[in-house]
């Protein structure tokens, strides 16, 4: 059985508050889930992809990997780590025809981000902060992932596409 595409979309955020109040236990849980799990899964599929001659690995980072959001900074640090992991794995896997890329969504209306938008005042604030004037949807992300896994992006590796409705963010 082959594996052509791996999308690492793990993400938890068990802490809301000051970065300096994050316990070591929570810190480890964040990194184990948000970074380590995707890395270890990638290590498992790379030999399968190499044997078949190609593959695509996608990591789901976040705008918080570029710009820390107050209250979820520890989560953001893990998403920054994914930006580096995409670059490093792309260098490692490029010679064996495996492309590694990422997406960095802004605020996407999902259950995971509900705390940021379920309050109508908060939703209006975030919509007003977005040049496109709306929050994103899962469909806004799926097209970018499809593109990154297609032949149309055959010469793209080590990149992370921002899907933020126009919110500018760079490291």
Classified by CATH at the fold level, domain 5-163 comes out as: Rossmann fold (3.40.50)
pLDDT single digits (tens) 95-133: 999 999 999 999 999 988 888 788 888 889 889 999 999
> Known catalytic residue: 75?
yes
pLDDT single digits (tens) 148-170: 999 999 999 999 999 999 998 88
The pLDDT, as a whole number, for residue 97 is 98
**49 alpha-carbon distance from chain centroid:** 21
The pLDDT, as a whole number, for residue 46 is 98
Angle between helices 24-31 and 73-94 (to 10 degrees): 40
Residue where the block lists tokens 């520890």: 74
pLDDT higher at 171 or 11? 11
The pLDDT, as a whole number, for residue 150 is 98
Domain boundaries, the chain: 5-163
Confidence check: pLDDT of 1 > 80: no
pLDDT single digits (tens) 16-28: 999 999 999 999 9
pLDDT single digits (tens) 33-79: 999 999 999 999 999 999 999 999 999 999 999 999 999 999 999 99
The pLDDT, as a whole number, for residue 122 is 84
The DSSP-derived string for 35-94 is IIHHHHHHHHHHHHHHHHT-EEEEEE--GGGTSPPTT-HHHHHHHHHHHHHHHHHHHHHH
Question: Catalytic: which of 75, 125, 126, 155?
Answer: 75
Confidence check: pLDDT of 91 > 80: yes
62-84 burial: b if 16+ Cβ within 10 Å, else e = bbbbbbbeeebbbbbbbbbbbbe
Is the separation of the CB atoms in 149 and 143 below 8 Å? no
């Amino acid at each position: 059985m082959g594996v052509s595409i791996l999308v690492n979309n793990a993400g938890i955020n068990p802490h809301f508050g000051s970065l300096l109040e994050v316990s070591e236990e929570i810190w480890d849980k964040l990194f184990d889930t948000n970074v380590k799990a995707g890395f270890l899964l990638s290590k498992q599929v790379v030999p399968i992809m190499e044997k078949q001659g190609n593959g695509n690995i996608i990591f789901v980072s976040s705008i918080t990997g570029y710009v820390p959001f107050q209250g979820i900074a520890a989560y953001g640090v893990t998403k920054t780590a994914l930006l580096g992991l995409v670059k490093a794995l792309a260098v490692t896997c490029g010679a064996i025809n495996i492309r590694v890329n990422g997406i960095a969504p802004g605020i996407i209306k999902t259950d995971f981000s509900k705390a940021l938008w379920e309050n109508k005042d908060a939703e209006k604030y975030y919509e007003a902060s977005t040049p496109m004037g709306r929050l994103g949807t899962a469909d806004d992300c799926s097209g970018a992932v499809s593109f990154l896994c297609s032949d149309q992006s055959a010469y793209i590796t080590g990149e992370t596409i921002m899907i933020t409705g126009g919110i500018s963010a760079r490291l």
